[in-house]
Amino acid sequence: MRKKHSLGQEEESEEINLTPMLDVVFIMLIFFIVTATFIKEAGIQVERPDTFTADTQDDAAILIAISASDEIWIDRKEREPQAVRGIIERLHAENPKGSIVIQADEDSTNEKLVMVLEAAKAAGVSNVSIAADNN
């Protein structure tokens, strides 16, 4: 009788414990979520002008898009020209080391581009770039 009872206990102890494996999977999942980089978008697709001397900008914290119809887009929302400076100040305060990249459509006017550049300068941001397609 004891042998039957002891055999039953051995069968139970031969089960595979999945808890450590699940712990490792969850730790890996958390690691990949934390280390993932997120793509920033201004909110609209613009046709950037072509250039031969464009350099890459890696630390863009603020993306501003100017559409062909001179609409200003920041954080996937259309913004009023008067509010651009305040928005830039707020976003720059969140990431002071980041830069601004302006994606101006090739059919947009220089007036809106200069207005955004002046707003960035007034907000205290010194690292401002204009996006272009590299040929």
Domain positions in the chain are 2-35, 50-134
pLDDT given for residue 16 in this prediction: 82
Q: Report d(CA 128, CA 102) in Å as an integer.
A: 8
Please say whether the beta carbons of 62 and 92 come within 8 A: yes
Please say whether the beta carbons of 20 and 59 come within 8 A: no
- Residue 58 C-beta-side C-alpha neighbours within 13 Å: 1
Helix or strand or coil: residue 104? strand
pLDDT tens-digit readout, 16-33: 888 888 999 999 999 888
pLDDT tens-digit readout, 78-134: 899 899 999 999 988 888 887 888 888 888 888 898 999 999 989 888 888 888 776
Query: Per CATH, is 50-134 categorized as 3.40.50.10490?
Result: no
Helix or strand or coil: residue 19? helix
pLDDT given for residue 54 in this prediction: 57
Q: Report d(CA 129, CA 102) in Å as an integer.
A: 6
Which residues, 6+ apart, have CB-to-CB distance to 50 below 8 Å? 132, 133, 135
